[in-house]
Structure 1
Amino acid sequence: MSIKYKVVEKAEPGVVGGGAKKWYATVVNDGELAIDDLVNQIEKFSALSEADIRGVIIALENVIQEGLSNGKIIRLDKLGSFYPSLSSASSLTQEDFTSSLIKGAKVNYRPGKRINDVLKTVIFKKAN
């Protein structure tokens, strides 16, 4: 297993005018795995049919949506956790804060240990 990368020049973050530009590695994605691909791969490790696997994935998506919309942390054991977070403007006092100051919500993902660990053993190869 390897992750391909390329080197790109970037300005210094937080420095007016960009500061001194430096070179950083960035991942070169090697395609994607869509639901059909995931279903086909899961089918190899399972006694479930393609339709059953697809149904479970869709049901999981629905359950995650409902849980997140109710402010719950969704823990998927070794896969990791999904949890909601907020972005807001500030107020001078707690009493002055209203929900109108909330700019939006997003979903955060915290990978499980096994998913994090696999990235510790990956080999990096420079893309052509």
Structure 2
Amino acid sequence: MSIKFNVVEKPQPGVVGGGVKKWYASVKTDGEVSIDNLTKEIEKFSALSEADIRGVIIALENVIVNEIVNGKIVRLDKLGSFYPSLSSEGSATEADFNVSLIKAAKMNYRPGTRINDALKTAKFKKVK
């Protein structure tokens, strides 16, 4: 398999009127994989039942959510890490900063070595 992509023209960031436009690769996704699909695939490599696998996936989601909102980094070995980050307005001094300046909390994902290694060897195919 390969990662499909198309080419899109994009303006120069931060330049009024777009500046010099260039062409860039953009991933052309090839569908989605749901929990049902993942469950069926995992079942092929496991002695667990579909219900057990689904239960573990849902429980993992619940645990990750709980830990992230408590400011923890969730490390899943070769799968990668989930960690919280914040977006905020700035203040002139540290003393002037207050919680009302926080605009949003986000969850970030950093892939593990196995996923990064797989992406390094990915093949690409241009599509229209």
TM-score (norm 2): 0.98
Q: Percent of aligned positions with the same letter in both sequences?
A: 73
Q: Does residue 103 in structure 1 map to residue 103 in structure 2? A: yes
- Hey, which bits of structure 1, 4+ residues long, moved more than 4 A? none
Aligned to 1:47: 47
Aligned to 1:116: 116
Aligned to 1:82, what secondary structure does the other structure show?
Answer: strand
Once the 2 structures are TM-superposed, how far is the Cα of residue 106 of structure 1 from its aligned partner? 0.5
* 1:46-65 equivalence runs, <5 A: 46-65=46-65
Question: Deviations along 1:18-53, whole A, 9 cap, x unmatched?
Answer: 101111110110111000000000000001000000
- List gaps (5 residues or longer) in structure 2: none
TM-score (norm 1): 0.98
* Number of aligned residue pairs: 128
Once the 2 structures are TM-superposed, how far is the Cα of residue 102 of structure 1 from its aligned partner? 0.4
Aligned to 1:119, what secondary structure does the other structure show?
Answer: helix
- List gaps (5 residues or longer) in structure 1: none
Aligned to 1:59, what secondary structure does the other structure show?
Answer: helix
RMSD over aligned CA atoms reads 0.7
> In structure 2, what is the Cα distance between the partners aligned to 1:13 and 1:46?
48
